Structure 1
Amino acid sequence: MLAGDAAGGDAAAGTRSGRKNDPERRDRIIAACLDVIADSGVAGASHRRIADAAGVPLGSMTYHFDGIDELLHEAFTRFSHTVSERFEQRMAAATDLESARAAVVAIIHEDVFGDGREPVLSHELYTLAARKPAYRALTTAWMRRSRTALERHFDPETARLLDAMIEGVSIHRALDEEPRDPAEVAEAVARITAAR
């Protein structure tokens, strides 16, 4: 006899042992993981801290993920795809050289520099990628998607230079205490994309 039968009825459909199923719990954990990393870095991303941020029992962590590394990989995969999709949308909306240049400038000023969270998450991912091949595969795929989006409007070499410039500017902006003139970004994009 099933446990549900012994209790006087079947466990409700979509439940485990009579508990309500929470189909969004895994997604909430991944989102909370990114929040914790943005606040405390990968080093501060413990199971307990992430579970608290997600509002889930600690046991949910090991139920949904084999370990912290799997969770981190899932979280950074989501992050890189979210950034790539926004990047691709901006470049797809451009219709000519000037609007493509403007899209690159917008990516830097509005997306990369938006709220300060994205550079922190990016740098945490870069640190992991420098040491672990699985994360390097993520960053390699991310760069490939960025260059493909840029190649809608620029030749492959120019796309590679622009992609490197976007990353470099984000690092300088995150680490330099000196304020920079926003017009420098537009000037850099114009120089890189000038006809040769």
Structure 2
Amino acid sequence: MELAGLACAQTLATVYKKDKFPRVLVCCGPGNQGGDGLVAARHLGMFGYDPMVWMPKRLATQCKNMEIPIIHPTNDMSPLRDALARSDVILDAIFGFSFKPPVREPFDKALSLITESGLPIVSVDIPSGWDVEKGNAAGVGLNPDVLVSLTAPKEGAREFKGRHFLGGRFVTKTMAEKFNLNLPDYPGFDQIVELPFAGED
């Protein structure tokens, strides 16, 4: 989770420089994806960004220690609406690998508000609302500008058209050989590498 969150923070910082996009709204869900988002929020704070977290009531201690504001999801969407109005970019860590439709409350309303905000979105592993294998077949998912896939790109991300990064070094050489994974080499100590657009070599 620490490496995943660091990779997400590095990706956001690579694409959205803090001089133009200092205010980051990190939207976290209740699962491991949300944990990745919280770690990313901490790193973004250390990188000099001004993060704010929208998340369920758990795992908040590290954010409080970093003095990162926290908003808890309820059926009242006005706190999220206000946070979106005071943000420059969104880190989407709401749903991840294990998500299965339909989107339940209050996250269904949250995804709509995030989409309507018009802010740039960086999604973690798979855009929230997308099925890990079928993509955005239900048509309810976010359409981010940037995706940071963790370990390897997911089948459902084939239709993703934005900037795509691979984050974290989670796959051993043995596993890559066993599953015939064609993963790029990591340059130096960086946790991320940008992938070519779909259809490019």
Q: TM-score, normalised by structure 1?
A: 0.27
| Structure with the larger helix share | 1
| Structure with the larger strand share | 2
- The structure with the larger Rg is 1
Q: TM-score, normalised by structure 2?
A: 0.26
